[in-house]
Amino acid sequence: MKKITIAVDGYSSCGKSTMAKDLAREIGYVYIDTGAMYRTVTLYAIQNGLITSDGINTTLLKQKMGDINITFTLDPETGKPLACLNGVCVEKEIRGMEVAAHVSPIATLDFVREAMVEQQRQMGKEKGVILDGRDIGTVVFPDAELKIFVTASAEIRAQRRYDELKAKGMDCDLNEILQNVQERDRIDTTRAISPLRQAEDAIVLDNSHMTIEEQKAWLLNQFKRVTDGN
Ligand code: DC
């Protein structure tokens, strides 16, 4: 069967990565979490004192972009991809509230986006990939054969992220998370470069009231619809 490129875009905390990961495992595709890449750049900036109360030191971050090597390895126990920064696993750190609070402004920077998009195109050039993010179907792979645009209400998304963090034993506040979700939506959709928007040929999935199993089946059907006969 001919391999295709699958783009999954949408709002933060919509469950994009869960569905993309599941589908990738099911169909034997490579999964690329592009949000994790922007989060890793943000972590680097935090760790190196490039984000202060005055804002982001963009001059220095731009100079340091070449020092930021992002890779993914598979967790030997769960088989899930783990983000690494310069060879060190940073999966836990990039999911915390500190990174979440700073990642949207970092993702608006043109030089950061250029570097990430270039890496994502390299990672996906052989097809057989499923990428989740904000600009995959519009900018990174506008020719992707299957494009999904995922959405759900902000309240439901905040609750999901809260449950996720609690399950990991992290201390968090639902109201703070909701504000963070809404603020990230605002920045993601209004930024000048590659704002989050639905590609014209994307299929919308509102999963506010869907279970993970239902959405898994829905996505697999979409994949079969596009690849049947190829
Ligand atoms: O999907 P996520 O929550 O892990 O994404 C983290 C941030 O990165 C979010 O604020 C949007 C940004 N992002 C982006 O601008 N482009 C992408 N392709 C993926 C994520």
In this prediction, what percent of the chain has a pLDDT beyond 70? 99
Residue nearest to atom 13 of ligand 1 (CA): 35
pLDDT tens for residues 64-107? 999 999 999 989 888 889 999 999 999 999 998 899 889 989 99
Full-model pTM: 0.91
230 CA → ligand 1 middle, Å: 32
Q: Does 37 map to a domain?
A: yes
229 CA → ligand 1 middle, Å: 34
Confidence (pLDDT) at 49? 97
- The response to whether residue 108 sits with its C-beta less than 6 Å from ligand 1 reads no
- The response to whether residue 91 sits with its C-beta less than 6 Å from ligand 1 reads no
Q: Does 165 map to a domain?
A: yes
Q: Does 162 map to a domain?
A: yes
Confidence (pLDDT) at 164? 87
Confidence (pLDDT) at 230? 66
Indicate which CATH number applies to the domain containing 57.
3.40.50.300
- The response to whether residue 11 sits with its C-beta less than 6 Å from ligand 1 reads no
Residues of the chain with pLDDT under 50: none
Residue 222 tokens, joined: 């979409």
- The response to whether residue 39 sits with its C-beta less than 6 Å from ligand 1 reads yes
For residue 52, give its domain range.
Answer: 5-223
Which atom of ligand 1 is least distant from the CA of 184?
Answer: 10
Residue nearest to atom 20 of ligand 1 (CA): 35
How many domains does the chain divide into?
Answer: 1
Q: Does 105 map to a domain?
A: yes
Using the CB atoms, write b or e for 16-45: b if 16+ within 10 Å: bbbbbbbbbeebebbbbbbbbbbbbbbbbb
